[in-house]
Structures are given as structure tokens and as C-alpha cells.
Amino acid sequence: MSKSIKCGVFGLFRGSAHVKSILENNCDVVAVCDRDETKLEEVKKLLGGKVACYTDFDEFINHKGLEAVVLANLFNQHTPYAIKALEKNIHVLSECASNSTMAEGVALVRAVEKSKATYMLAENTPYMKFNLEMKRVFEAGSLGKLLYAEGEYNHPEMPGDDDVMRRYRPNPKHWRNFLPRTYYITHSLGPLMLITGAMPKRVTAMPVFAPTPSDSLMGLNVGDRSAVITCLNDDDSVYRVTGCAGYGAHGNSFRVCGVKGQVENLRDSTNRILLSYNEWDTPSGANRVSTYTPEWNDKDRALIEASTHGGADFIVMREFLESIRTGKAPFFDVYRATTMASVAILAHRSVLERGVPYDIPDFRKEEDRVKYENDNLTPFYGPNGEEPTLPCCSHPDYTPDPKLVEEYLNAIKK
């Protein structure tokens, strides 16, 4: 049996979903931390009372015997906590943004390089069934050299759902009220990087400005529905991705195009794949165009199918824990994680400058780190109420209609 690892979870709004995956991977949840004591009690009950509960992170991180932590706290506040854990040689699985400023990215890479612990980004969308099938097809070589790939994470929310709004945007300074549309990028960019291996080297972006209702999932101060982001990669291919978009119909869609053919998931909320070739490049014995539903070819199929996010949450946790056990670096290590964050951050600066391109730094190189080590620009409020230092919207002078603000404030009081 594989070695059991003593794990802790910080932030239980999202983190409670990771508890099940930790247990299913033959590890123990020995400590949890959240300032909401009702969430602590829920997890404690789930684990039969056999877990230490904390409301203070510094006390949590000093829990005796703690070996690994899952960081599922606020989107824009992962880095300081990751660094504290790494300094104690505690392994870190961090939710879907490694850093929210460029300086944080530099500090995180330096902390990982000094630590004996593993760092992994908990990005789940690449491990959904259709994306893993596209990875298999691409790596088999029948599509030829990569030329172009698309990734869209499209997540509009039904207006009028006050319960969703209160859960996801519970106060006026919450990060979702100030989230630039490029920042939530890993669900669209991560799959393309896993499928193809290509790394972004230069980015430019354009906004789709159309203010959302006050009760949407994202808002309130961001008038953009989306940003269209274009990346030039290290192999001369091009990615076109969104961050968290809010146009058209809900869904995740991905497409990978080579010289000979292309593969994509169908935009019908299924796992179906469309694989097509040029007539003259169709492999012997294959159909020029085929549509099919892939199957899980995995020893843990039953656990995967029972897991959240289409099975991806189990797979992410499995890779993290196996990387600790074996010493093998995870795919979404600190360098890929900070590359995605750099695309997100610098794409927004491109948006603010109407498409000016930015080179993506390589934080393996000290000269790139030095360039950004003091770059603390942020569109978010700080943990102690510090004011944002960067506009969150493509129209910096945009302010929401006062009536919408009033509706929002009234709704979150209920």
C-alpha cells in the first residue's frame, strides 16, 4: 500500500470537496482551517471528529506532523500562505491561481527552489475526460505539428439567483467584484498546455465590454464580459483563449489544430470528441471525420467517475500525492503555474493598452525575476483593506449603475 500522507486543507468553501479525494488516495486529513466555524464543524462531522480544526493559519500550519496542505482560500491570496508552508518544507497543492501579482510569482518560485517540498497547481480542467483524450490523440502524432489551439471557459450565470450571488460575492470588496476577465485563465489555458506541451512566450488581448447585471456571478465593477487572449508559443504555434468568459451559452470548449488534422470536444455539454483530417492526410484505416465518446482507461475509473468536476478533482489529488511519494515533478509545477499567472496578469495590461503585446517572463531566469520582483500592481483589495492599484475594467472610468449597486447591497444583506 502507498505511504499515507498527513494532509491539511485551508479554506473549506471549496476545500471541503478535496477532503474526499485525499481520503480516496489513501491519505489522512489531520487538520483543517477556516474562519467560518460552521464549515469547520461540517468537515469535522464528515470525518467523525478525527480532525483538528483551526481558525488561524499560523496555528494550522504548525499542526504536529502536517506534511501537505491544500490551499483553497481566496483566489487572490494563495501566495503568502504557500510560501509559509514551503518554508516549513510542507508540500503545497494550490488552487487555480498561483499568484495574483508579478512580484508574488517571483517570490513563489524562489520559495519553491529553496524548499524541500513539492509545489503543484490544482488546475482540474485539463484532466477532464475529453481533454485527456485530446492529449492522447495529439501525442500519438496523427495531427502533425501543432499550429493553433483554442480554449474557452464560458461561465455566464443566470440573473436573479440571489443565493448564488451571496455565496460567491458576499461583500463589496470581494475579489469576484474586481476580477479582470483575463485573470481566471487556467481553466482555458491549462488544458492546451497539458495537451500540447507548448509554453506561451508573448501575449496580447482585447476586451469584450458589455456590463453584466448586478446579480451575475462576476461583477460588479468589471464591465467586460470577456477578454480574447492570444499567445505566441515557444514552438511558434498560437493559442487563443479566454479567462472566465460570460458570453453565449455556458460550456468549456477546446480545439487543437495540427498540419494534418484537428481534434476538439463538441459544444454540447458532453464528453464527445470530433476528430478530423485533411483528405490527403487521413491515416490508413481511419475515417477522415469521426465523432465518438472516449472511455476512462484508468485503474481508478470508479473513483474518477464518482469524483467532482467530471472526475478531474480525484486525478489532480492523485498526481499531487504521487509526486510527493515518488519525487517526480507534477506537470503543473511552479514554472508552468507562474507562466499561466503571468499570461493572465500581462494580458490584462494589454487590454488596458488596447492590445499592446507583452513578453511572458521565464521565472527560471534570474534576469526575468529581477524585472518583476517589485511589481505589486493589483486590481484587488488587499487582506487588510488596501486599495487596488490597477483598474479592473478595460474602461478604467467605468462605474456600475448606482441602482445596480443598491440592488446588490440589499441582496447580500438578506
Task: Identify the weakest region by mean pLDDT among 129-143, 239-253, 288-302, 386-400.
Answer: 239-253
Q: From CA 76, how far away is CA 27, in angstroms rounded?
A: 28
**Burial group, residue 166, by CB count within 10 angstroms (0-12, 13-18, 19+):** middle
pLDDT, one tens digit per residue, over 3-44 is: 799 999 999 999 988 999 999 999 999 999 999 999 999 999
Looking at CATH, the fold of the domain delimited by 125-299+334-372 is given as Dihydrodipicolinate Reductase; domain 2 (3.30.360)
Task: Kindly report the average pLDDT of the chain as a whole number.
Answer: 93
Looking at the predicted structure, is the pLDDT value of residue 109 above 60?
yes
Asked whether 76 and 100 are in contact (CB, 8 A), the reply is: yes
Look at residue 211 in the predicted model and tell me its pLDDT: 83
Domains 6-121 and 125-299+334-372 equal at CATH topology level? no
Question: How many other C-beta atoms lie within 10 A of the C-beta of residue 403?
Answer: 9
Look at residue 270 in the predicted model and tell me its pLDDT: 85
Q: From CA 397, how far away is CA 269, in angstroms rounded?
A: 37
pLDDT band at residue 335 under the 50/70/90 scheme: very high
Residue that the C-alpha cell 456571478 belongs to: 217
Q: From CA 204, how far away is CA 202, in angstroms rounded?
A: 7
Task: Identify the weakest region by mean pLDDT among 128-142, 207-221, 333-347.
Answer: 207-221
Q: 77 to each of 62, 81, 117, 391, how far by Cα in Å?
A: 19, 8, 20, 18
Average of pLDDT values for 252-261? Answer: 97
What pTM does this model have? 0.96
**Which among 347, 365, 352, 343 is positioned nearest to 393, based on CA atoms?**
352
pLDDT, one tens digit per residue, over 193-236 is: 999 999 999 999 999 998 866 546 566 899 999 999 999 999 99
Q: From CA 404, how far away is CA 406, in angstroms rounded?
A: 5
Per the structure block, which three cell numbers stand in for 124?
Answer: 482540474
Looking at the predicted structure, is the pLDDT value of residue 390 above 90?
yes
CATH of region 6-121, choose from 3.40.50.720, 3.40.50.360, 3.10.20.340, 3.40.50.410: 3.40.50.720
Q: What residue spans define the domains of the chain?
A: 6-121, 125-299+334-372
Look at residue 215 in the predicted model and tell me its pLDDT: 47
Our measurement of the distance from residue 169's CA atom to the centroid of its chain's CA atoms, rounded to an integer in Å, reads 18
